[in-house]
Chains A and B, each alone.
Chain A
């Protein structure tokens, strides 16, 4: 039987090419994402990063006037290094000392300056709460 080339292959090849093109388009216009770091690895970093850590008090200031100041240390607890954070914008309800939070921003002269409104707190564990962090 003389096999007529099935358009299926053409369709799939074109689709795959289309998807790849879309991916390339994305990476060329939007670039990659941000590195996610714990406070202990922040020293000397430049550029925008995502910082995930545990809130250490005291918490001072006003997020809507001058900014909220607090420190973050590693969630894993292996390192005692902490970093000062300056944050403005909306503060999630769950934010308080001892909570795990994630903020985006940049290290500027030893202080992590967070992008306004970038803070997310993690839900207090829905599954199997840990009691040691409070």
Chain B
């Protein structure tokens, strides 16, 4: 069986190289049949990669420990679901999954657009094939998932912290996101190479980018939630390089999704858009490099592996070639229109882009700073949490405000008078919110108060937009208010889905501000029967129990929780000791208030022999809004991703207006 896997990957490599070379030749010489054959090779490489993936999956499911990979990541006792997740639990399997998704996306994106944008596609194919060649080379020559050994009696098993449902969804979603960013990159490069620099590459890739971006966003939020409930240190994001590795391409992709609208509508920012695509794709590669190469200290420990230098070389190649290409095509990328006023929708989007990019680059600077300082000063200097928090506030808060302004401000040129009219209500709502919160004592954290005030402003603009739109649809003859609302959204999914996503980001901001700027913490060592208080909560430590399960010993401290005079029942926190893996894991107790979104979060830090326990307790207001924001984000993304006939017609009409072969 491993031979079949190895052979399949070798064929994949061959097909990718063929698609790269033949595709480039065909595009350059204008050979249609050769181009077709290169396309078919790309599609076939997906099939052969799928064969290799099936071999690995089968080996995992059969617990075939003669596969080195299988013995290292699983064990006999591991439940089936986690045995499947071992596919991406190790480096070689992750790379294979990457290749599988890459060839799959490539085959689909090329096939879907081949009639509509043939002249563009001929150059997209070799770009895709180039990226696929790199990954196929890695799994063939550097990190093969099909290495074999004399089968041991049992495998090494999986780290307990990875044995939970989050690990079934979080890594694959991130991969879908990372790899998905290859699609806009390949089309952008295809457009540059073919000099078909019209808006078709944007139209062809809009949904792919949205999909990758949504997957990356939801994948990250799932990771945060996992950290919050499973890792149990009381937080959900630690600005760790590996976490930042996923955040940076997401920020770049967010900027791209916004600036694309300016190019579609006004033909501006063409160079900028290509730059953002290159940046997003390079950052997704860089993220993988960070997680694999062990060049920076991270709480996710990644043993130094052999693929680091390959990745670095590939990133350098990608950045050099794509920037070179962009520079070469600069004369063709001149915009026909110019920014007319610094107070206009275009300008607002530009500010949004610059802020997103500034935040992204500030994070990148923080991530690479230890490496740079080591090079320059011979000593790695690490920038801590305060660095990232500072820039999140400095760039994030203005971004929040712009989220309310951007969608409402007039195109081209807005007069100050019209601004006053448009934003009369939202400004009033924001001011009222700010004053009420100040009276309630939210002034203890100025950034928190500002975040809440801006959030109120944005939510007011979103509500206003929905209300105005629904009223207009009703006036145009919708039978009922719900019908008017539904028709409003279905007629412009992109716009109103976007508002839903904005609402999700506002919820996220409120949740982050609440749980980080207005949280409280208390620590105490309690003997049985003793109590501690935090805020208006009282926790009485009543009992300590020990229980043996199949693979762990579970120790739990039980509390009686009261808030004021109200009895809130009991809450448990403790530790699990895993026998085989010889590991201990914190099992935190969380009590969520459904009405206010506040969490009471209890960690049993140290359980002493005499039965006393060192507790650490947090009260985190509004933290549940973060997870709820994930759901709203998903809904908003789905609305924008949903096929939209109106939009398609508009885009095709605009494309044909520009004299393009828009026959789809």
Contact = CB atoms under 8 A, between A and B. Distances in A.
Contacts of A6: 338-339
B340 interface: yes
A107 B438 CA distance: 44
B300 A93 contact: no
B390 A26 contact: yes
A94 interface: yes
B387 A62 contact: no
A43 interface: no
Contacts of A50: 297, 382
A22 B585 contact: no
A35 B381 contact: yes
Given A127-B305, A129-B156, A93 B91 contact: no
Contacts of A25: 394
Contacts of A91: 605-606
A7 B381 contact: no
Q: Which of B369, B381, B585 has the most CB of A within 10 A?
A: B381
A64 interface: yes
Given A11-B350, A91-B606, A128 B91 contact: yes
Contacts of A93: 232, 575, 583-586
Contact of B302 (A15, A26, A102, A126): A126
B134 interface: no
Given A90-B233, A90-B603, A123-B300, A30 B386 contact: yes
A127 B606 contact: no
Interface string A112-134: 00000000111111111111000
A11 B382 contact: no
B159 interface: yes
A70 to B, nearest CB: 15
B59 interface: no
A64 B604 CA distance: 12
A48 B585 CA distance: 30
A8 interface: yes
Q: Which of B89, B380, B391 has the most CB of A within 10 A?
A: B380
B54 to A, nearest CB: 22
Interface string A22-64: 1101100010111111000000000000101000000000111
Contacts of B291: 127
B376 to A, nearest CB: 12
Q: Which of B91, B351, B382, B395 has the most CB of A within 10 A?
A: B382
Interface in B469-490: none
A10 B72 CA distance: 57
A123 B297 contact: no
Q: How large is the interface on A (under 10, 10 to 19, 20 to 34, 35 or more residues)?
A: 35 or more
B90 A127 contact: yes
Contact of B525 (A64, A100, A123, A124): A64
Contact of B383 (A33, A104, A122): A33
A12 interface: yes
Interface string A63-105: 1110000000000000000000000001111100000101010
Given A11-B347, A33-B382, A52-B297, A64 B575 contact: no
A36 B380 contact: yes
Contacts of B354: 12, 15, 19
A90 B235 CA distance: 14
B299 A122 contact: yes
Given A64-B605, A92-B233, A122 B342 contact: no
Nearest to B584: A93
Interface of B: 72, 89-91, 94, 156, 159, 161-162, 232-233, 291-292, 297-303, 305, 338-342, 347, 350-351, 354, 358, 362, 369-370, 373, 379-384, 386-387, 390-391, 394-395, 525, 575, 583-586, 603, 605-606, 614, 616
15 contacts: A7-B340, A11-B339, A22-B391, A22-B394, A22-B395, A25-B394, A26-B391, A94-B584, A120-B299, A123-B159, A125-B302, A126-B300, A127-B94, A127-B302, A128-B72
Given A25-B394, A36-B381, A125-B301, 5 more contacts: A102-B299, A121-B299, A123-B300, A126-B300, A129-B156
Question: Closest 10 interchain pairs by CB?
Answer: A122-B301, A33-B383, A8-B339, A127-B91, A36-B380, A15-B354, A64-B614, A7-B342, A6-B338, A36-B382
